[in-house]
Structure 1
Amino acid sequence: MKQYLPLIAIIVLIITMFSCKENIPEKTEKPIEHTLNFVKTKGTKLVDDQGNEITLKGTNLGNWLVPEGYMFKMGQVNAPRKIDELLYELVGPDSLQVFWKGFLNNYITHNDIKYLKSIGVNHLRLPFHYKMFTDDLYMGERNAGFKYFDRLIDWCREEQLYILLDMHCAPGGQTGDNIDDSYGYPYLFKSKSSQDLMTEIWVKIAERYKNEPVIIGYDLVNEPIAHYFEDELDNLNHQLFLLYSRIIKEIREVDAKHTIFLNGSVWSTNFDVFEELVDSNVVYEFHKYWFDVKQEEIQDYIDFRDKHQVPIYIGETGENTDEWVNDFRTLLDKNEVNWCFWPYKKMNNPKGIMNFNQPEDYHLIIEYAESDRSSFAKIRENRPDILKVQNALNQYLENSLYKNNFVNKGYTKGLSFKVD
């Protein structure tokens, strides 16, 4: 590999150049006057401080702070740490760190936020990994959560968009599957140290943003408890309810203003977890994918809303045809359900608002992800040409920039957002 080292150094420099092509605005020294007001619940509605009703219509900034294998087209390499490991095997630690820096700077920029505001989006759901608030190395950085939160908040304040903070990956894992970077079981509900850390992180976030109206609320944990554990569901539901109650109580000691969003269990479909209503400023959240669009598919959530006189919100849905997206969005609007479709942006995929091209040599990464990596011998045998991989990653960073993206017009029209 020695003959590659000078070239690799040059390529690392090229990646750095790519990652800086769309400059991140510096934090302004003069405070920006914000006109967004705090949002709270009022019966089944959400209202601002002036009493104006708000129906949430938005999209998830998926894959940015929580990389997902299917969006990187890596198949079973489908959790953040597995993606990181695969890329480490392909390009080594220095190039990997530079790639993550470029990815974090390029994938979502101020221009993306300007665009989303221009088409009619009124809020963004931001998935994040708990490791962004720890000393763990995550996407090439440690304790970087507030750096990226503050950056997005500045952009959204300028564009007048609300942000919902979503802990997509909790300590110990809340699902026992890939989406929360867990280890095959929802150990969050068996681990006091994990629950302590999760609570500590949310309190830290609440302390920082207690006076920030751009934050519409705190989505405490995404899609807790996978369906694989339904034989334990009664106990896990109770543990989740106790954890919700604890975190809300501790958040309220430092932040009495922000709305709390609570997911149902079993991938956020099961509202049995809500043994009682523990706070007056809570939105109850469900997620739902891949079904025939019929009123009965959402009726249980409508009934819960009407019975308890609380707002409901579908925090994730989509990943379907343009026609399906239009039909389901229409049904949600008819029933006055707050919604947020998944996701905003993907590579070479029409099932989202925004799209970008797959690099020419990126198939090498896909093929390696599908290969046998069970031993060091197999890793060496199946690893593709490092220069071609580096080129593909360079081009990925460039293609993911807003200026090189293109709109999935049918999908966006289906959401009733503006299409030029």
Structure 2
Amino acid sequence: MKHYLITLSAIIIISINFSCNKKVEKTVQKNPSKTLSFIKTSGTKLVDEKGNEILLKGTNLGNWLVPEGYMFKMEQVNSPRKIDELLYELIGPDSLQVFWKGFLDKYITHDDIKYLKSIGVNHIRLPFHYKMFTDDLYMGERNAGFKYFDKLIDWCREEQLYVLLDMHCAPGGQTGDNIDDSYGYPYLFKSKSSQDLMTKIWVDIAKKYKDEPVIIGYDLVNEPIAHYFENDLVELDNQLFSIYSRIIKEIRTVDKTHIIFLNGSIWASKFDVFKELVDDNVVYEFHKYWVPVNMEAIQPYIDFREKHQVPIYVGETGENTDEWVNDFRILLEEHSINWCFWPYKKMNNTRGIMNFNEPEDYYLITEYAKSDRSTYAKVRENRPDNVKVQKALNQYLENSLYKNNFVNKGYTKALSFKVD
């Protein structure tokens, strides 16, 4: 009897182990974790852990975690907080929270990531707002940054796509314009508390993802310092360089592996800010829009690359004709420049990879955005029919879903991605 019990116990243990092994095996097959290699710099190139060169070719997930007014077709209402305020006026707090939840869940999904992988994209750049890592209410949630980062990283791990994390909106504002949700001046450079918060957020991100190869790197701040402040550029550049140096040093205490991406100043166009090289695993990033397609547009960055033997990257470009996109992409590739075109998806617009239809009656929202909202009386006077507005916003969410999108074939072909 004792022998029988021992044998039975052994069988049970073996069965449990076999069952657990099968479960682990299934998990690995379903989620092939860490088959992507960490990427690092090697002279002017990016290479994987085996030394194979990788040229980045990708797209920005613009508008998803940082809503932009022109993508919502709202004139003068062109930053996340202004969009939120306008929608609050139109539909109230409860419906607004439901809208933002739907927007975050539908605008970008796993299906979008599968599609991008299928056409030949090898990485995506993810713009995000610093408020996603604070107690501030942002897009209807608080401290939701890691929730959406983790979701995207899981999708990209499954599809084998790299992710570049881009702080598009920094505490205090880095540009003094709408794109960083600021208040008319780049107060990041005047505010110690803003710099402290920015540093803390990046260190927290680096702690969490230090062992995650899906993340290609950390893009510390998008397009710092607008051209309006060129008279103060020397001082602002010095402050920006100090911030870069500080954050890199702090990140390296917890993460010595991931690449740091650094934007030049004046909308990421000038590399004069880089007084010296402060780390040996850095990519230097510039942005170019609406310029003639010729060597003059890229020569300063190539010169910087060759002088310092570092990689360079166009983090944003595009939003132009298919012909321009094709020609500029060819020019970049002829000179081995990593690139990421802006953006992936837009409503009723052909200057991006993906498109979706504008809902019926959506014009009520765009017309309200143009109207006089300077007083409460004007808000009440100009507010359109609430039922029609709510219906238009609900339809917007459905139209933005991948299954209801359609490809801008000319733009996608111009990027040399696969078009069915």
1:280 partner SS: coil
Alpha-carbon shift at residue 33 of structure 1 (Å): 2.7
Counting only pairs closer than 5 Å after superposition, residues 240-389 of structure 1 correspond to structure 2 as 240-389=240-389
Counting only pairs closer than 5 Å after superposition, residues 6-405 of structure 1 correspond to structure 2 as 32-405=32-405
In the alignment, the residues of structure 2 paired with residue 397 and residue 232 of structure 1 have an alpha-carbon distance, to the nearest angstrom, of 43
Alpha-carbon shift at residue 291 of structure 1 (Å): 1.1
Alpha-carbon shift at residue 178 of structure 1 (Å): 0.1
- Preserved CA contact (<8 Å) 2:109 2:402: yes
The CA deviation string for residues 197-224 of structure 1, in whole angstroms up to 9 with x for no partner, is 0000000000000000000000000000
In the alignment, the residues of structure 2 paired with residue 351 and residue 298 of structure 1 have an alpha-carbon distance, to the nearest angstrom, of 22
- Preserved CA contact (<8 Å) 2:31 2:158: no
In the alignment, the residues of structure 2 paired with residue 34 and residue 307 of structure 1 have an alpha-carbon distance, to the nearest angstrom, of 34
- Preserved CA contact (<8 Å) 1:373 1:379: yes
In the alignment, the residues of structure 2 paired with residue 116 and residue 333 of structure 1 have an alpha-carbon distance, to the nearest angstrom, of 19
- Preserved CA contact (<8 Å) 1:171 1:197: yes
For 2:289, give the aligned amino acid: Y
Tell me which residue corresponds to 2:13: none
In the alignment, the residues of structure 1 paired with residue 75 and residue 314 of structure 2 have an alpha-carbon distance, to the nearest angstrom, of 26
Tell me which residue corresponds to 2:407: 407
2:238 partner SS: helix
Alpha-carbon shift at residue 32 of structure 1 (Å): 3.8
Alpha-carbon shift at residue 50 of structure 1 (Å): 1.2
Could you tell me the TM-score, scaled by structure 1's length? 0.93
For 1:226, give the aligned amino acid: A
The CA deviation string for residues 349-372 of structure 1, in whole angstroms up to 9 with x for no partner, is 000000000001100000000000
Alpha-carbon shift at residue 28 of structure 1 (Å): 10
- Preserved CA contact (<8 Å) 1:64 1:104: yes
Taking a change above 3 Å as real, the CA distance of residues 160 and 269 of structure 1, as seen in their structure-2 partners, is same
In the alignment, the residues of structure 2 paired with residue 33 and residue 259 of structure 1 have an alpha-carbon distance, to the nearest angstrom, of 20
Over the aligned positions, Cα root-mean-square deviation in angstroms equals 1.1
Taking a change above 3 Å as real, the CA distance of residues 68 and 291 of structure 1, as seen in their structure-2 partners, is same
The CA deviation string for residues 23-70 of structure 1, in whole angstroms up to 9 with x for no partner, is xxxx99986433101100000000011111100000000000000000
In the alignment, the residues of structure 2 paired with residue 315 and residue 395 of structure 1 have an alpha-carbon distance, to the nearest angstrom, of 32
Unmatched tracts of structure 2, length 5 or more: 1-26
2:388 partner SS: helix
4+ residue runs over 4 A deviation: 27-31
For 2:218, give the aligned amino acid: Y
For 2:78, give the aligned amino acid: N
Taking a change above 3 Å as real, the CA distance of residues 390 and 122 of structure 1, as seen in their structure-2 partners, is same
Alpha-carbon shift at residue 296 of structure 1 (Å): 1.2
1:272 partner SS: coil
Alpha-carbon shift at residue 292 of structure 1 (Å): 1.0
Tell me which residue corresponds to 1:5: none
- Preserved CA contact (<8 Å) 1:56 1:123: yes
Could you tell me the TM-score, scaled by structure 2's length? 0.93
In the alignment, the residues of structure 2 paired with residue 189 and residue 320 of structure 1 have an alpha-carbon distance, to the nearest angstrom, of 32
In the alignment, the residues of structure 2 paired with residue 210 and residue 384 of structure 1 have an alpha-carbon distance, to the nearest angstrom, of 49
- Preserved CA contact (<8 Å) 2:31 2:157: no
2:168 partner SS: strand
Taking a change above 3 Å as real, the CA distance of residues 116 and 193 of structure 1, as seen in their structure-2 partners, is same
For 1:231, give the aligned amino acid: N
In the alignment, the residues of structure 1 paired with residue 146 and residue 197 of structure 2 have an alpha-carbon distance, to the nearest angstrom, of 16
- Preserved CA contact (<8 Å) 1:122 1:162: yes
1:99 partner SS: helix
The CA deviation string for residues 315-372 of structure 1, in whole angstroms up to 9 with x for no partner, is 0000000000000000000000000000000000000000000001100000000000
Tell me which residue corresponds to 1:417: 417
In the alignment, the residues of structure 1 paired with residue 274 and residue 190 of structure 2 have an alpha-carbon distance, to the nearest angstrom, of 19
Identity %: 82
- Preserved CA contact (<8 Å) 1:262 1:284: yes
In the alignment, the residues of structure 2 paired with residue 310 and residue 75 of structure 1 have an alpha-carbon distance, to the nearest angstrom, of 40
Alpha-carbon shift at residue 307 of structure 1 (Å): 0.5
- Preserved CA contact (<8 Å) 1:34 1:158: no
- Preserved CA contact (<8 Å) 1:354 1:405: yes
For 1:77, give the aligned amino acid: V
Count of residue pairs the alignment pairs up: 394
- Preserved CA contact (<8 Å) 2:69 2:77: yes
1:266 partner SS: helix
Alpha-carbon shift at residue 398 of structure 1 (Å): 0.2
Q: Which structure's CA Rg is the greater one?
A: 2
- Preserved CA contact (<8 Å) 2:320 2:351: yes
1:53 partner SS: coil
Alpha-carbon shift at residue 306 of structure 1 (Å): 0.5
